[in-house]
Structure 1
Amino acid sequence: MGRLHEGVISVEDLKDILPPKERLEKGPVAIIECIESIPCDPCSLVCKQGAIIKPSISTPPRVDYDKCIGCGACVPICPGLAIFMVDYTYSEDKGLVYLPYEFTPLPEKGEEVIALNREGKEVGMAEVVKVITYPDKTSVVCIAVDKDLVMEVRFFRRKENGEKG
């Protein structure tokens, strides 16, 4: 049993909807951590590949990993901030996590930040690789983390003045 009963979704809760290892090794891919049966569908409407499947407006979305090209259009559109993109092919020891971000000021490329898991606990250091902004939309921050943390990291916090990593 996962941790959802405690208010925190876990990889265990998501095991049946996460992409297979073979797909993760091909490049960027969307990860949808929405398990709520609520009326919502912007993710399926924005996906030009038809990779996000919602049989009804209240069904949690699922990704067709054979169709997903990792474009990231779904990440900033989710009102629940429940869509991420991961890329295991970034480097030999680092992977990328693309995160929806709604705070200001935005972090800067090259900034060292503290990676957080789904519970908000610190799990390691990360580097901001890219910041993508959209007019009137949620920004997306791409961070590089150790590969073993890619499926665990779901946010970050910026260092406070003088704080060491």
Structure 2
Amino acid sequence: MSNYLKYGYLEVKDVVSFPSLKMITKHPVVVSECIQEIPCNPCVTSCQFQAISMEGINGIPVINFEKCSGCGKCVSICPGLALFLIGIKGKKGLVTLPFEMLPVPLKGEKVYLLDRKGKEIGQGDVLRVIFPDKSTKSAVITVSFDNIELIKSVRNIRSLK
């Protein structure tokens, strides 16, 4: 892990695998940035398509991109905020991410796009907001943006206000 142990964040090169561009043009697909070998498996049990597996309870999630429907249940249930959906629709990049801060941005709001370090890397629009329910603590927010290259880097957002 390039800077994870020293600074507390991953870099794009640390992510084990990304789905192909062809695949994420069809529909969003989950990406795991979980590197903690701890007893945790809500992502596995929440996936009705068996797209996420682990070798033992302390394993790291492995994504079968072919099986992933892009439903996002795993994004909302992951206590480590380590799962994201990435996709491309037309000429727009899409990232669906867990969000635990207040206020929660609303659909249509313009936001800053942040990388893993919290650095602003662009601006986007909130396309969808799913507010937390009793089983989750995170809102799940989908943002769209013009630079599709950012799908591998956008991991948080901040209001323009």
Counterparts of 1:49-88 in structure 2, within 5 Å, are 49-88=49-88
Partner of 1:91: 90
Deviation at 1:4, TM superposition (A): 2.7
Q: Which amino acid aligns with 1:44?
A: V
Partner of 2:14: 13
Q: What is the total number of aligned residue pairs between the two structures?
A: 157
More helix, by proportion: 2
Q: Which amino acid aligns with 1:19?
A: P
Q: Give CA deviations for 1:111-148 in whole Å, capped at 9, x if unaligned.
A: 11100000100000011111012322221011112211
Find the residue that maps to 1:150 and give its secondary structure: helix
Find 2:116's aligned residue among 115, 118, 126: 118
The percent identity for this pair of structures is: 39
Between the aligned partners of 1:4 and 1:26, the Cα distance in structure 2 is: 32
TM-score normalized by structure 2? 0.91
Find the residue that maps to 1:115 and give its secondary structure: strand
Structure 1: any 5+ residue segments left out of the alignment?
161-165
Between the aligned partners of 1:144 and 1:64, the Cα distance in structure 2 is: 24
Q: Give CA deviations for 1:41-92 in whole Å, capped at 9, x if unaligned.
A: 000000000000112110010101111111111001000000111111x222
* Residues 116 and 153, structure 1, Cα contact 8 Å, conserved in 2: yes
Structure 2: any 5+ residue segments left out of the alignment?
none
Between the aligned partners of 2:107 and 2:24, the Cα distance in structure 1 is: 24
After TM superposition, the structure 1 stretch with the greater mean CA deviation from structure 2, 5-14 or 59-68, is 5-14
Between the aligned partners of 1:67 and 1:152, the Cα distance in structure 2 is: 23
Deviation at 1:17, TM superposition (A): 2.2
Deviation at 1:24, TM superposition (A): 2.4
Partner of 1:143: 143
Partner of 2:27: 27
Deviation at 1:157, TM superposition (A): 0.8
Deviation at 1:5, TM superposition (A): 4.1
TM-score normalized by structure 1? 0.89
* Residues 17 and 62, structure 1, Cα contact 8 Å, conserved in 2: no
> Which runs of 4 or more aligned residues in structure 1 lie more than 2 Å from their structure 2 counterparts after TM superposition?
1-7, 20-26
Deviation at 1:96, TM superposition (A): 0.9
Between the aligned partners of 1:99 and 1:154, the Cα distance in structure 2 is: 7
